[in-house]
């Protein structure tokens, strides 16, 4: 398109045109581009809903781990959430300040820190589950039960592929 002016598709996208207007297929990777956009939008939608409870995106995963496991060492949360220690520390500081978690020395090893949900943190459980159920339904609006099942199957396959490629799967098949 030399000399013919800017690409109208790119101009429309830059001006806030329709999602997917960027010619990502031309760069090789339309599925990867779509996954990236969907993940970003999903995180944004979850964040908007969680904000109403005073939670930041990602904190619900930490709380879910505590709800499922009970008191655990901070080092276990870091490993299970697969986050940088400083990120988990910051999350815990915010959750502690808001009264949702408490940290205390582990009685079995005073150098280790145990983290547990407080009563206020436990009270968030039903609301967080409601947010995730609502987000799930909103995300899947218009899909038939068969399409939902197929989407879940395909996403699990993608996750497995990416997990293997990253060497994060544990025991390789």
The answer to whether residues 124 and 54 touch, using CB atoms and an 8 Å cutoff, is no
Whether the full predicted model's pTM is greater than 0.85, yes or no, is no
Could you give the CA distance from residue 151 to residue 104 in angstroms, rounded to a whole number?
42
Mean pLDDT, rounded, of the chain: 85
Q: Which is more confidently placed, 14 or 109?
A: 109
Q: Is the pLDDT of residue 69 over 70?
A: yes
Average pLDDT rounded to a whole number, residues 120-131: 95
- The residues pairing with 113 across neighbouring beta strands, listed in sequence order, are 105
DSSP state string for 90-126: HHHHHHHHTTSEEEEEETTEEEEEEEEE-HHHHHTHH
Q: How many helices (H) and strands (E) does the chain have?
A: 8, 3
Q: Is the pLDDT of residue 50 over 70?
A: yes
Q: Is the pLDDT of residue 11 over 50?
A: no
């Amino acid at each position: 398109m030399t000399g013919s002016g800017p690409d109208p598709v790119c101009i429309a996208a830059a001006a806030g045109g329709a999602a997917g207007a960027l010619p990502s297929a031309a760069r090789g990777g339309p599925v990867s581009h779509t996954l990236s956009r969907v993940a970003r939008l999903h995180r944004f939608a979850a964040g908007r809903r969680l904000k109403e409870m005073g939670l930041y995106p990602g904190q619900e995963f930490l709380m879910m781990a505590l709800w499922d496991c009970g008191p655990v060492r901070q080092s276990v949360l870091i490993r299970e959430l697969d986050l940088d220690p400083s990120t988990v520390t910051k999350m815990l500081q915010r959750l502690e300040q808001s009264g949702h978690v408490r940290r205390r020395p582990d009685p079995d090893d005073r150098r280790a820190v145990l983290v547990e949900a407080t009563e206020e943190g436990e009270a968030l459980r039903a609301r967080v589950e409601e947010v995730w159920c609502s987000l799930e339904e909103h995300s899947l609006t218009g899909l038939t039960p068969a399409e939902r099942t197929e989407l879940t199957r395909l996403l699990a396959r993608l996750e497995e592929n990416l997990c293997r490629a990253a060497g994060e799967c544990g025991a390789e098949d």
